[in-house]
A and B are shown apart, each in its own frame.
Chain A
């Protein structure tokens, strides 16, 4: 059903199969992710309704307190649609909820009344995507690269130092690394800014440069914590792949070591990492949330934290839904790339 199962499938069929196009495979994956998206949306619908107490009443109370007046009836309906309506049955609520989501109406923030949640989330998302996107790719490239090196020369001196070290590093909690980095680089050495995502006083290119500067510490800490996982996985896959017959044959062919490593060993060892790449995104986003909090980075992680501490349920739910959908989309993209990386996927299913 999924790519990972295909890779671990014990033996590829030796006879020639009918070849469904790669598009058939992708269509199946698309079907799965659509269902997963539906599950995420439904989970988002059920969560507040399953929780003890009545979030929708609490939200209405709080909104009336912050706004200082009776809520307009359409806002009340919107909140009840999102967080539970004691008078309507679940099926009606669910349909209404889906309808409201289709209009991108995620409700109104309590702590930043009366900003719509959708606006808050939309303003935070680019920052997180940029941070998570670049760091994930960087960590993947660095970790996989080092993993190939250590795996190729497994048992060598480089491997003996780097592998245990990265095991340790990958076990360090993200946010703790961020705290240490903050202490050393922002407060002791004063090389980099300690919080925020940009300098609000600047405009134009200077603004983007400041965004880059502000991004260094958060990004570096995520990469630092995340590359070890890739390294360990890739190292062991490389060690296993290097002992495959086709790598042996590549060596017997007298190809240059770099060609043997890259085109034969690493190219094949990378395949499981590739599916892992998609699956890791969820985890990386989770970790990035904490990093954003340490650095008060203006992404949705910080938004989530802010909403958690202020009990801003609408924002909480909106952020979760958005993260879930983004991760699913990223997975779909990774699968699409995978189809072109492993020719065998097109045949099996």
Chain B
């Protein structure tokens, strides 16, 4: 399993990109401060809205701030919100989904109902409203709001998976032997859900990064913090689009898209590894088989 996990090209791509951005988020201040020697907030009056150059690799903003330095600092902000919100969302999804799936009956009925309500609620507008009331709150609050409202989809998946694990013979036997439920959940059920939880966490992280970008774009994220979303918002509010300052708003959007793709690829790869039907449909397998078939056909013709 482990060797095939690493050898799946989709998984490898995802891992590399996510690791890269995680490293960027962790090493950000050191990179901008020590390596580049540029403060992402500092205003270089000599270079206002200047296109990419040897001095500013990705150009500068309307305020003379280095876009590359901001991008690195923004990675920290966006990743922070993504990870924290995903953490909260995953914990809630486990609490609701696993509990409902494991205990079944009335517990399941109630929890599943709550999950379904959250599922059909338009989450993004809801988050807008709440953060509208809590204006100017920090990235912490943003992450919490996103996490608290965005767990329903994951809970539903985990519920279905838990139900199937619960009905396996060994779990049923352990229950009959009087093993305590929390212990069983912790030692038997959760380990079997590892893959699902991981893939949920990744999707939640991407969802949160996108949501934060959306909120920042609306100007209701933390105005002091730098995130990819706030960069795009700043660009938009300074009419960067109108004035063609593409180096200001293109890079942060690309970063969001890249990390989103990486997480999707990871999920895709995990799907392929867990679903043999998908695995037999990869480009590699099909090409390999076709090549052999062609070779055989050619041989038959010449023979």
Contact = CB atoms under 8 A, between A and B. Distances in A.
A and B touch in the complex (CB under 8 A): yes
Interface of A: 1-2, 4-5, 8, 10, 32-33, 35-36, 39-40, 43, 47-48, 51-52, 55, 151, 154-156, 159-160, 164, 167-177, 179-180, 182-183, 187-188, 232, 236, 239-240, 243, 278-279, 282-283, 285-287, 289-290, 293-294, 304-305, 308-309, 311, 313, 316-317, 319-320, 323-324, 327-328, 331
Nearest to B116: A2
Given A36-B116, A156-B286, A173 B257 contact: yes
B210 A308 contact: no
Contacts of A327: 120-122
Contacts of A170: 260, 264
Given A155-B281, A167-B261, A179 B241 contact: yes
B278 A171 contact: no
A82 to B, nearest CB: 14
Interface of A is mostly: helix
Contact of A286 (B122, B246, B268, B281): B122
Interface in B246-266: 246, 249-250, 252-253, 256-261, 263-265
B128 A167 contact: no
A20 B244 CA distance: 62
Given A171-B256, A294-B236, A316-B132, A32 B264 contact: no
Contacts of A33: 120
Interface string B198-211: 00000000100010
B119 interface: yes
Contact of A52 (B109, B134, B235, B286): B134
A285 B122 contact: yes
Contact of A171 (B123, B264, B283): B264
Given A309-B219, A323-B125, A183 B241 contact: yes
Contacts, number: 191
Interface of B: 109, 112-113, 116-117, 119-126, 128-130, 132-135, 153, 156, 160, 164, 206, 210, 213-214, 217-220, 229, 232, 235-236, 241-242, 244, 246, 249-250, 252-253, 256-261, 263-265, 268, 271, 275, 277-278, 280-287
Contacts of A180: 249-250, 253
A282 B125 CA distance: 9
Given A236-B271, A323-B122, 15 more contacts: A55-B133, A156-B283, A169-B257, A171-B261, A177-B253, A187-B244, A239-B281, A282-B124, A283-B124, A285-B124, A287-B124, A289-B128, A293-B218, A316-B132, A324-B125
16 contacts: A36-B117, A154-B282, A155-B287, A164-B265, A171-B264, A172-B257, A172-B260, A173-B210, A173-B229, A187-B241, A243-B277, A282-B121, A282-B122, A289-B125, A305-B218, A323-B122
Nearest to A154: B281
B220 A188 contact: no
Given A159-B283, A327-B122, A173 B214 contact: yes
Contacts of B117: 35-36, 39
B257 A168 contact: yes
B125 A304 contact: yes
A10 B164 contact: yes
Nearest to A294: B236
B288 to A, nearest CB: 10
A326 B130 CA distance: 19
Nearest to A9: B160
A172 to B, nearest CB: 4
Nearest to A228: B264
Interface of B is mostly: helix
Nearest to B232: A176
Contacts of A154: 278, 281-282, 286
B242 to A, nearest CB: 6
A235 to B, nearest CB: 9
Nearest to B243: A187
B261 A179 contact: no
Contacts of A5: 156, 160
B124 A160 contact: no
A172 B258 CA distance: 8
B133 A173 contact: no
B120 A36 contact: yes
Contacts of A287: 124
A328 B56 CA distance: 49
Contacts of A285: 122, 124-125
Contact of B214 (A164, A236, A290): A290
